[in-house]
Structure 1
């Protein structure tokens, strides 16, 4: 858990393998000591690489970017628009950041099973924390008092638009539905005659 909190914001999105159309969860993690981890997983295998500040600088010059955050946002945008895709090989994978073969690409190494399980576990906690933060932002922006005040004004405006309101009399038990204001008549039960009298 300490590992997750020490790493700052992550970018999460999905990627496709162009060969078999299988989906992967793509993630980036900015490291506090500098550079970023880039990886993806299908839940079973994990492929990952670390880009140091020295490795990032030529990439940022190529794309005319100013910061590491700009680079991670470019990666996320490429994933969302379908311009990023992966080619998985036996012990590595290639992440392509464009539709042309000449576009930028990164080689990622496949992690061992134990490293992969740890990475997937960390990724699940990052996702859960991200969802919790989104929920908390939604809750803090919701105020019952403000929403009641808004509802009250909505109803007042609607009533003013309708014109004068007509008083509706409450239907009492036993009142007729067809002819309001009159009581329903009970069905006759008849008179029971005793033969003894």
Structure 2
């Protein structure tokens, strides 16, 4: 695959999309992949039969024009967004299926044709191992996340056990708000001085 085309597909994140779609009682797995022959492959399978559309840069240009989209980048972004949001439908007509990605008038519609026996075998084998590898990666990520959660819980419990000791020292200012007892005879206005007795006037002794 030419580096520029491969980079375009990789940057748009459309090189390994997967989505399960139900049509009545039938379920389809829709998935994309890139090949070494400079092409982007869109696949749909019901687990028995497989339909595909292989596009090189020229085929992608043609699909972009049919969809009325200005650029390949915009086409791929719309395709990815519709895929990831679950706006995907599959309709089977004879030996082909129509894959619709998106909603309403802006939806991208692609016709996929039944793969040959050799192609079917290779594609089903490829998607089987791809899904197995994806599950393995998710298991590793889940294990790492669980270990991180347990570590955080242990740290939280350890920190929580220290809290009672952190508050053991007397609090600053404790007891400072106790009411002061006023001594008898002390002035209310000026507590440091004694209260003066009220004047009783001049007493004259009788002659």
> How far off its partner does 1:137 sit?
4.3
| Aligned positions of 1:113-152 closer than 5 A | 113-138=117-142, 148=151, 150-152=152-154
TM-score after normalising by structure 1: 0.60
Gapped runs of 5+ residues in structure 1?
Answer: 1-7, 165-197
Q: For each residue in 1:136-158, what CA deviation from the matched residue of structure 2 results, as whole angstroms up to 9, or x when unmatched?
A: 445567768x954x444311332
1-structure distance, mates of 2:138, 2:51: 27
The match for 2:102 is 98
Task: Find the structure with the greater CA-based Rg.
Answer: 2
Gapped runs of 5+ residues in structure 2?
Answer: 1-9, 166-207
> How far off its partner does 1:57 sit?
2.6
The match for 1:49 is 53
TM-score after normalising by structure 2: 0.57
Counterpart of 2:27 (choices 23, 29, 33) is 23
The match for 2:81 is 77
| Aligned CA-pair RMSD | 3.4
Q: For each residue in 1:44-94, what CA deviation from the matched residue of structure 2 results, as whole angstroms up to 9, or x when unmatched?
A: 1111110111121354574455649x72x6434323434221110121111
> How far off its partner does 1:96 sit?
1.6
Contact kept, 8 Å, 1:26 with 1:40, in 2: the verdict is yes
1-structure distance, mates of 2:146, 2:97: 44
The reply to whether residue 153 of structure 1 matches residue 175 of structure 2 is no
Structure 1 residues 136 and 96: alpha-carbon distance in aligned structure 2, compared to 1, 3 A threshold:
same
> How far off its partner does 1:24 sit?
0.7
